[in-house]
Amino acid sequence: MKEMIGFIARALVENPAAVVVDQEQGADGSVLVKLGAAREDMGRIIGKQGRTAKAMRTLLNAKATRESKRAALQIME
């Protein structure tokens, strides 16, 4: 899941080297994916009215469902 989010984020931004993706496992088996990018690229990650971020969350949830897990995406500033 971490790799998928990283791939999508690097394709969207101007500075792909600044993209940082971290994955944490929760006690209940859930997964938290944290995404960070350069300050000037945050608009591209979030998108107009949050549409890009919502699409990334939808893809993450679809992948997690296939693996019988729960997942959440947190965008770090």
Per-residue pLDDT of the chain (77 residues; tens, 9 = 90+): 899 999 999 999 999 999 999 999 987 889 999 999 999 999 999 999 999 999 999 999 999 999 999 999 999 98
Alpha-carbon distance values, 47 to 9, 26, 33, 44 (Å): 11, 28, 18, 5
When divided into structural domains, the chain yields a total of 1
What does the alpha-carbon distance between residue 24 and residue 68 come to, in Å, rounded to a whole number?
Answer: 16
Tell me, what's the pLDDT at 3?
94
User: Tokens representing 55?
Assistant: 């699409």
Tell me, what's the pLDDT at 39?
93
CATH assignment of the domain containing 58: 3.30.300.20
Positive or negative, the CA dihedral 32, 36, 42, 47 is negative
